């Protein structure tokens, strides 16, 4: 009887650790590109950790945070602001890895060539009165940091600076909307700009960079603090190690990042402080 009970308990233990480890990512660019990238990440993590790993796409930045809060996903590729939100909602969660470039991220202000605006080291004061689009409302590079610099320069809200203000939803759409002239000026993640440029989706006769922000910390992998209870002792360390040792050139290029390095919650305090200063978080 004791032997049967031991086998039964062992079976329960194996089942609890055999569940699927799920992760998501903020939908910051073209969905098909994200699916291709993160399905490869899922396969890589599964091989490295010995656990079934699945990528779950979401439709918005807020949905990524909600999925993390509700334990529908245990890991997420967040932007700086969405990561701060998620870790506030899930005590014990940690930023564990970031791209090397994410230490010094930046936003490009871009403009339709019909505006006559040219690239300058100085803040582009002449954007006032034009139409302007941010990316997602929850984006660090597409909303938080550009809004911060707009407020710093003009001393009023963006809605009072521009003729019309929009939120495109993601960086790829921001580029498309400015390139088409639907909005004359916009703010975009510089990495997505480089990706779209490489993919031939940017027409330099219609759109150009006019200013780039000072650097700030941005994207990171954040993991829930209870993953060891769900997936076994040292599982968090296994995932962290796998991310830091990701060296497939094709996979890294899809982010694009040259490598992943250690990260901590403290690294993103500057983002949290900016978000508080302009009232995006309490």
Residue 18 and residue 21: Cα distance in Å, rounded?
A: 9
Residue 211 and residue 260: Cα distance in Å, rounded?
A: 27
Non-local CB neighbours of 5 within 8 Å, separated by 6+ positions: none
Mean pLDDT over residues 3-11, rounded? Answer: 40
- Residue given tokens 């890589």 in the structure block: 44
Instruction: Give me the pLDDT at residue 176, please.
Output: 97
Residue 116 and residue 165: Cα distance in Å, rounded?
A: 20
Confidence band of 185 (pLDDT split at 50, 70, 90): very high
Say if residue 6's pLDDT is above 60.
Answer: no
Mean pLDDT over residues 67-95, rounded? Answer: 97
Residue 60 and residue 191: Cα distance in Å, rounded?
A: 19
Closest CA to 138 of 190, 100, 83: 83
Closest CA to 22 of 6, 39, 10: 39
- Residue given tokens 């803040």 in the structure block: 123
Confidence band of 30 (pLDDT split at 50, 70, 90): confident
Helix (H) or strand (E) holding 196: helix 190-198
Helix (H) or strand (E) holding 160: helix 158-161
Between 8 and 145, name the one with better pLDDT: 145
Q: What is the pLDDT of residues 93-139, one digit of tens each?
A: 999 999 999 999 999 999 999 999 999 999 999 999 999 999 999 89
Say if residue 3's pLDDT is above 50.
Answer: no
pTM of the model: 0.86
Give the residues across from 77 on adjacent strands: 25, 221
The token pair that represents 105 in the structure block: 């991220």
Instruction: Give me the pLDDT at residue 171, please.
Output: 93
Non-local CB neighbours of 213 within 8 Å, separated by 6+ positions: 106, 107, 109, 145, 146, 149
Give the residues across from 216 on adjacent strands: 105
């Amino acid at each position: 009887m004791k032997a049967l009970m031991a086998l039964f308990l062992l079976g329960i233990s194996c089942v609890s650790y055999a569940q699927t480890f799920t992760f998501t990512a903020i939908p910051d660019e073209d969905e098909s590109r994200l699916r291709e990238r993160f399905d490869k990440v899922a396969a890589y993590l599964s091989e490295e950790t010995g656990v079934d790993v699945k990528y779950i796409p979401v439709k918005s930045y807020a949905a990524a945070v909600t999925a993390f809060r509700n334990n529908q996903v245990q890991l997420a590729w967040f932007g700086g602001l969405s990561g701060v939100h998620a870790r506030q909602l899930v005590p014990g969660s940690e930023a564990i890895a970031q791209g090397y470039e994410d230490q010094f991220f930046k936003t490009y202000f871009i403009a339709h060539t019909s505006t006559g605006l040219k690239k300058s080291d100085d803040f582009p004061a002449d954007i006032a009165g034009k139409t302007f689009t941010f990316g997602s409302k929850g984006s660090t590079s597409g909303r938080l940091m550009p809004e911060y610099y707009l407020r710093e320069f003009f001393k009023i809200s963006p809605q009072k600076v521009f003729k019309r203000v929009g939120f495109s939803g993601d960086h790829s759409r921001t580029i498309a909307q400015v390139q088409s002239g639907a909005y004359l000026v916009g703010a975009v993640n510089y990495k997505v700009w480089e990706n779209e440029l490489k993919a031939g989706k940017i027409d330099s006769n219609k759109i150009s960079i006019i200013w780039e922000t000072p650097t700030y910390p941005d994207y990171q992998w954040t993991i829930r603090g209870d993953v060891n209870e769900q997936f076994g002792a040292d599982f968090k360390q296994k995932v962290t190690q796998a991310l830091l040792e990701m060296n497939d050139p094709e996979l890294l290029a899809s982010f694009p990042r040259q490598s992943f390095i250690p990260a901590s919650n403290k690294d993103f305090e500057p983002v949290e402080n900016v978000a508080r200063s302009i009232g995006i978080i309490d």
